[in-house]
Chains A and B, each alone.
Chain A
Amino acid sequence: MEVTETWYLVLSAALFGIGFVGLLVRRNPLIMFMCIELMLNAVNITFVAFSTALDDVAGRTAVFFVLVVAAAEVVVGLSLVVALMRRRPSLSVDELTSLRG
């Protein structure tokens, strides 16, 4: 038995699905950011698996950029959470209704 790229892709699909459902189900903005990180990691597994399977370094460069964008996203997202928490003590996205029309 040999580990082929299909194994990695199936694992990546499962990880993406867990992150996706978590993002829809959870109400805590911090956990929602963590679920986004899970989905980004699933995509990274896919990139590296294809890079190895197709013998092409471009997939690994893409992973590098995904890492940078994830870091920037977390910085901005967490500062948004901190700014929101200053105004209201509860930590649930259901209560962020001030933009409701």
Chain B
Amino acid sequence: MVDVIVFVACAAIILGGALGVVLNNHPVRAALSLVATFFGVAVLFIQQGAHFLALVQIVVYAGAIVVLFLFVIMLLGVDSSEDVSHEPLAGQRPAALLLGAMVVGLILAGLFVSGPGGDDGAVALTGRQSRTAAISTLDESQSDIDLLADDLFTRNVLAFEATALLLTIATVGAVVLVRNKGGEDLVVDEPGTAAS
């Protein structure tokens, strides 16, 4: 029963935050709604026993990524809000809503239309009939971080190395992209203050 209460509260926070991101005019408010969503997802991770992932979710998403968003919003000027009520392309919003409803409907159909064996949910979607067929089972006696480390540094060690390369490339790419190649004129937000 407690599980249900926690789930419903988290679902409300997550969906409310997500709607806040989509519907808010102001980018700072959208970023703060995003924090609510990330916290809700982290609590759902804890509810399922993924404690380390919940911690990483808070530190990386709610910490680093949202701070990066806020930093860029402040760098570009906080008053760069967009008028949501104005529709630039006629008929685009109904089309987007229809497409979104179709995607969600497709996912829900995959979830609730039962498979050949009459299974639904996880078993039907993955085709896995028994839980003992797992590659590496979740051992209750081991902590979540031990399990993750075992899997990461044995079966997925090559992918782990590749992420190191990916992060290096992303860092170098960010530096190259924002580097000001000397001699170019800067266009500044406020009129009259443009650099020469």
Residues of A within 8 A of B (CB): 1-11, 13-22, 24-28, 30-31, 33-35, 37-38, 41, 44-45, 48-58, 60-61, 63-65, 67-76, 78-83, 85-89, 91-92, 94
Contact = CB atoms under 8 A, between A and B. Distances in A.
A18 B65 CA distance: 20
Given A21-B100, A34-B21, A80-B177, A57 B93 contact: no
18 contacts: A6-B120, A9-B107, A11-B14, A19-B21, A28-B80, A31-B27, A34-B31, A38-B21, A49-B122, A51-B50, A60-B147, A60-B151, A61-B152, A68-B166, A71-B167, A79-B174, A83-B177, A91-B82
A53 B136 CA distance: 13
Nearest to A53: B122
A15 B38 CA distance: 12
A68 B56 CA distance: 10
B154 to A, nearest CB: 10
B100 A4 contact: no
Contact of B159 (A19, A65, A83): A65
A45 to B, nearest CB: 6
Interface of B: 1, 3-4, 7, 11, 14-15, 18-19, 21-22, 27, 30-31, 34, 37-38, 41, 44-45, 47-50, 53, 56-57, 60-61, 64-65, 68-69, 72-73, 75-76, 80, 82, 84, 88, 92-93, 96-97, 99-101, 103-104, 107-108, 111, 120-122, 125-126, 128, 131, 134-138, 144, 147-148, 150-152, 155-156, 159, 163, 166-167, 169-171, 173-175, 177-178, 180, 186-189
A38 B15 CA distance: 10
A82 B138 contact: no
Contact of A75 (B37, B99, B171): B171
B177 A4 contact: no
Contact of B22 (A26, A56, A65, A69): A26
B50 A48 contact: yes
B111 A13 contact: yes
A65 B163 contact: yes
Chain A, interface SS category: helix
B108 A71 contact: no
B98 to A, nearest CB: 10
Given A1-B4, A50-B122, A53-B121, A76 B174 contact: yes
B37 A68 contact: no
A14 B18 CA distance: 10
